Chain A
Amino acid sequence: MDSFDLIVIGAGPGGYPAAIRAAQLGARTAIVEQEAIGGTCLNWGCIPTKSLIAGADLFAHLGRAAEYGIQAGETRADYPAMIARKDKIVAKLRGGVKQLLKANGVQTFEGTGSFQARNRIAVRAADGALTTLETKHTVIATGSTSVMPGFLPKHPRVVESRAFLDRPSLPASMIVLGGGVIGCEFACMAAQLGVKVTVVELLPEILAMLDADAIMELRKHMQQKLGIRILAGAPLTNIGADDTGVSGTVGKETLRADLLLAALGRRPVTAGLDPAAAGVALTDKGMVVVDAFGRTTAASVYAIGDVNGGPQLAHAATAQGIAAVEHALGHARRAFDALVPSCIFTAPEVGQVGLTEQQAQASQRAVTVGRFPFAALGRALATGDSEGFVKLISDAQSDRLLGATAVGPHATDLIAEATLAIKGEWTAAELGRVIHAHPTFAESWMEAAHALHGACIHAAPKRR
């Protein structure tokens, strides 16, 4: 029987960095993956969607080429070619990760890992062959999968995000059920490529966890520029699907479309894992119970990423994977970081970190808000992408930065600077004093920090 210091179950964005970190620390390491190295993120999530979104974004810009003085002629989106490009990128990255695991001496086992005991894991390969491995430490990183509730008809026209990405063509019209991150990203991408999209959200607002101003900005673009219909605050009922299309009722209106994309959230994957055999407890919703260090109820067994019920974000899983491995191998005792930025690749993009203005105000403290619109930023005007704004929230008493929101061009990249500043407990005044290169989008943070103290250079003073 092969024996290891540490075994990671699941080779997604949480699992494979965990395995590499373990190998770096000198542990004899194995990783078990039942489907594809890279997990949801690389194969059916972050990377493929961003590949398609890049194409959609270029297509949208080409549509505006005349604004830049470019005559692009007639442009046409070749969706199968876009899919092929996406598949190529995914394959390349997957190969890269495989290579990295190998180069670090991590042994990869293909198959479904399940606990036989706390220190013994069986891997069942697709052909039924069973390999049993011994381990000192285990990291569960099995991730999550899309929820497909029973009220959705089982029909090829009713898909979740992964099945959508496997489709060779775009529908002419689409109902997106669920106005969360995944739903809105797909809605924007499809709409940019000419699909008639209707988003149906049960809650009163789409992307409810976002800053209220950011939602307003995003809604404006989605509805006015992309022609997306947003129906929030009511359920989609009487859902039907046949060979001619899908249908459903919202309030008194009946919707019809070619396709229904269900984006109703994700649930943890523990099927076949048999966590009980190791003494690993699950919540009633099936998430692995962990403490602040990722320790499960079984000694030497950790759980990281989507499966432990934390933020369902690849970068959170990566950070947790590294922290858990360092903890397991006695390298560093560090709790999971709570400051996790979120990036939404809609059109326009949204980046958010820390508290929103509404959360900060609800936290019973005096807060100061500084906001700067891209419409007042030289680079944004020069680039032709001047929608949106950045916003900083700070504690009025100490000036400590508490949160930041960016919506607009490069918002998902811009949020990194704010994350760094909040993590380092910077004050708004200090951020405002840092020289930001001109002309760049990042200058917006400096301007917002100035605005927070009523000293914005590129905005007219408020009338008193």
Chain B
Amino acid sequence: MSQPILMPKLGQSDEVAPIVKWRKRIGEAVNKGDILFEIETEKAVLEVESFYAGNLIKIVVPAGQAAPVNAIVAFLGKPGEKAPDVAAAPASAAATASPGVEHNSGGRHGGRPSRVENKDSALPSGGSGSVPTVAAPLAASAVPSKPGRLLISPRARALANTSCIDPSGIAGSGPDGRIVEKDVRAHLDARGYDKLRISPAAKALAAQQKVDILAVTGTGEGGRIMTEDIQRAMAERPKPLTLMRQTIARRLTQSVVTSPHFYVTVSVDMGDLLKLRQEAKTRGSDYSVTDFILEACIMTLQEVPEVNSSTDGQSVRWHASVHLGLATSRPDGLVVPVIRDAQKLTLVELHQAAKALAARARDGKLLPEEMSGSTFTVSNMGMLNVENFTAIINPGESAILAVSSTLPTPVARDGNVVVRPIMKITLASDHRLVDGAMAARFVNAIKTKLEDVSLWTRSI
């Protein structure tokens, strides 16, 4: 009896998810707990484990296709067992498969193909209609359109192919704007195709790699297009953003456009705190500088609840709890794991929570609910050797704290110049909710806490 594998429920919002990669091949043995496949959500690529053991006998939803939650994506069974003839459940048009993934026709799996339609633009337009189309023009012109969507006659396509040009930009003169051979010829003439000089190897490569040679600048003798030029064009070819980067792009653009940012910076003398931390370390407690900064933020947010709030432009909501977001860098982008009800945690608990979340974030093991609902975010670039920077507020929050590196800096102390370990922190605030004086009070309250060691000697 074969065991169907279902698309798991991922979080609050995602109803449909694209499978980015199958980690098991047909016929391969699967143990309970093995990673079966990877799905992409707006926040991250997640690994899906198998709850069952058996052999993977059928993949219903291949990589690159999306499936709704609870739809059958595959079957496990005994080796050689025949899987039931099941068609992939159609993903709704709203599904956002990564456009970078090549789509196979689902036809050979029986029934209707579950192919995900791409919108005309390769990038999904995103949730908010107010978001400006930052990347759309690039995508429209540069990402090759999927075959079959362009209205073009076979002769015209053949000519475009043998000429190594991209016909998608040509205005068609046929019925319904269909591109006919004449249009391609006119395009070639208008763009000076006959004057183009290209080496045979370069042309062969362009044909193979579908590089539009009209868009390539030749660097050979007399502007002749050489292999090197095609290789450069290949390297420069736009690639679709990952779903994660698209999400980052959409959310951060939305934030910058809708919330008026302003920035207030203070310098924090970390000398005493670093000494304290060193002492704590010799006693065996491994607090990081970040722990103290987070704790200082949590305390200050409770003192200044205006900074722990959200607005839709009409009303404001003060949050009773501090859900602290930690901007965490990953090779493929940025994730913001959230420490919930951070105000309830002791410094030790905070340290453990932050450490665990950071590790899960780096390994890509965060669950969707661990990445949403933050009320304030800290972005710490202290380990990246920066003097000062500003951050962009996470949508739905009123401020974000940018923490820079602690650097030996000459400062004035009692009329003398001394060198102290100075860390700059910059608060970016949404001016709709926070004014300058309040932001100044907030950052100075954090500064005072970090500089006043007596506060911490009690808690560690």
Contacts and interface: CB of A to CB of B under 8 A. Distances in A.
In the complex, which of the residues B199, B200, B202, B226 has the most CB atoms of chain A within 10 Å of its own CB atom?
A: B200
Interface string B189-210: 0000000000111101100100
Interface string A420-445: 00001111001000000000000000
Given A425-B226, A425-B227, A398 B204 contact: yes
A399 interface: yes
A401 B208 CA distance: 16
A427 B200 contact: yes
Nearest to A401: B201
Interface of B: 199-202, 204-205, 208, 226-227
Given A398-B227, A400-B227, A427 B208 contact: no
A400 B201 contact: yes
Contacts of A399: 201, 204
24 contacts: A397-B205, A397-B208, A398-B201, A398-B204, A398-B205, A398-B208, A398-B227, A399-B201, A399-B204, A400-B204, A400-B205, A401-B201, A424-B199, A425-B200, A425-B201, A425-B202, A425-B226, A425-B227, A426-B199, A426-B200, A426-B201, A427-B200, A427-B204, A430-B200
B208 A424 contact: no
Nearest to B220: A425
A395 B200 CA distance: 13
In the complex, which of the residues A400, A425, A427 has the most CB atoms of chain B within 10 Å of its own CB atom?
A: A425
Contacts of B226: 425
Nearest to B202: A425
Interface in A366-420: 395, 397-401
A398 B227 CA distance: 10
Nearest to A424: B199
A364 to B, nearest CB: 15
Contacts of A427: 200-201, 204
A427 B200 CA distance: 6
Contacts of B201: 395, 398-401, 425-427
Nearest to A430: B200
A427 B206 CA distance: 13
Contacts of A398: 201, 204-205, 208, 227
Contacts of B200: 400, 424-427, 430
A424 B225 CA distance: 11
Given A400-B201, A425-B199, 17 more contacts: A395-B201, A397-B208, A398-B201, A398-B205, A398-B227, A399-B201, A399-B204, A400-B200, A400-B204, A424-B199, A425-B201, A425-B226, A425-B227, A426-B199, A427-B200, A427-B204, A430-B200
Contacts of A397: 205, 208
A46 B205 CA distance: 40
Contacts of A424: 199-200
Contacts of A401: 201
Contacts of B199: 424-426
In the complex, which of the residues A398, A401, A424, A426 has the most CB atoms of chain B within 10 Å of its own CB atom?
A: A398
Nearest to A395: B201
A425 B201 CA distance: 5
Interface in A80-110: none
Nearest to A397: B208
A201 to B, nearest CB: 37
B368 to A, nearest CB: 41
Nearest to B205: A398
A399 B199 CA distance: 12
Contacts of B208: 397-398
A285 B416 CA distance: 56
A433 to B, nearest CB: 10
Contacts of B204: 398-400, 427
A363 to B, nearest CB: 14
A59 B394 CA distance: 89
A400 B205 CA distance: 9
A401 B204 CA distance: 12
Contacts of B227: 398, 400, 425
Contacts of A400: 200-201, 204-205, 227
A400 B38 CA distance: 39
Nearest to B199: A425
A196 to B, nearest CB: 48
Contacts of A426: 199-201
Nearest to A425: B199
